[in-house]
Each structure stands twice: as C-alpha cells, then as structure tokens.
Amino acid sequence: MKLSHSPTSPFVRKVLVAAHETGLADRIELLDMTSSDAKTAIDQVNPLGKVPAMILDDGTTLMDSPLLCEYLDSLHGGRKLFPESGGARWSALRQQAIGDGVMDAAVARVGEARRPESERSPDFVEKQTAKIAHSLDLLEREAESLQSDPTIGRIAVGCALGYLDFRAPNEGWRTGRPKLAAWYEGFAARPSMAATTPPD
C-alpha cells in the first residue's frame, strides 16, 4: 500500500506511528507530496486535497487519518489500537477526537501565519490558540486515562503534542500541565515516535 506523505504533517505522522505500533510500517511505500507537482498529485489521491491518504494494492483510495489508522488496525492480529467495544473504545475515540482537533487548530495557525501579513487575522489565531489551550487543560485533568498501552487516542494526542513542540517550541505548552508533560516524555521515547520525528 502507498501513503501520501509530507514529513511535517502531524496527521501523516499519526498514521506512521500507528503503522509502527502494529508492525506494518515495512508494508507502506511513501509517496512524496512535497514536490512542485504535489498539489495535483494530492488531489488525484484525495479529492479533499489533504495528506494523508492511502492507495491500497487493489487501487482503492482511503482518506482521513482515523480511517487510515482503523484500516491498518484491521490488518494485524496483535493488540488493537481501536478497542473493539465498551468504555475503552469510546475513551480511545474521544482522545483521538481531541488530539486530531488540537492538530487541526495548530495546522490552521501555521497556515494563517503563512498568509500575507495584511491578510492575517489575529482574532483567528487567538481562537485556534484557545482551542489548543482548552484541550490541553482537559488532557491534563484526565492525564491518568493516557497511561498504559498505546491506543489510537494516545497516538493522536502524542502526535498533537509533538507537533506543538515542532511548530511552537517557545509556546510552553508544558507550563501548568506537569502530568501531561510527564506522560508525553514517556510516549515520545517510544520507537514509533522516534522513527517518525519531523525534520529540523
């Protein structure tokens, strides 16, 4: 299978971390979407024009990181990243929604900063920053639920925090959130996270 890839996308990283955690990374060929023809190429793989997307061996295309990760999880017989049912499932999906939401807000903020200065909206940036802060405060209150084996929720939260370190290293998300910071220190040391660190 092929994965449309950008080395700085936290959503691509999420899929790759899931692939490493499930022992499937070697089966994925990366399609570089950072070349000059990238926009056209991305649109061909995903009509939504976003990375990540996947082309399966039979030509089927899948898009959106939750779908890609759940597809990968269906391909192995080990411990599942998506718990099958009950409270564990809803907790993992809820954490995934929060992690993905933080990534959405952080990516939007980066996009806004790239617009011509006269077109940038400080109000928009403030709103995205508030979404990130409120979500991290919630995760700090619920940090105990992040402990234990990786799930899709913990992977999404880990990739979101990694993206904040990558794009906003001086923002200090750890300040006032010691439990979340301690959890992330352990999670970031996992081989799956080390193998997918964004470039400098």
Ligand X SMILES: N[C@@H](CCC(=O)N[C@@H](CS)C(=O)NCC(=O)O)C(=O)O
Contact residue for ligand X among 22, 65, 95, 96 (CB under 6 A): 65
CA angle 109, 33, 72 (to 5 degrees): 90
Alpha helices for 142-189 (secondary structure H): 152-167, 178-188
Q: Does 112 bind ligand X (CB under 6 A)?
A: no
Query: From the CB of 12, what's the least distance to ligand X, in Å?
Result: 7
The region of 43-51, 75-83, 166-174, 177-185 touching ligand X under the rule CB under 6 A is 43-51
* Token pair belonging to 171: 């923002």
Q: Does 184 bind ligand X (CB under 6 A)?
A: no
CB 162 within 8 A of CB 101: no
- As a whole number of angstroms, the distance between CA 26 and CA 24 comes to 6
Nearest in space to 139 (alpha carbons), one of 108, 100, 111: 100
Contact residue for ligand X among 28, 51, 105, 152 (CB under 6 A): 51
Contact residue for ligand X among 64, 112, 142, 165 (CB under 6 A): 64
Contact residue for ligand X among 5, 13, 20, 50 (CB under 6 A): 50
User: φ and ψ at 174, to 5 degrees?
Assistant: -75, -25
State the residues that interact with ligand X by CB under 6 A: 9, 11, 49-52, 64-65, 100, 107
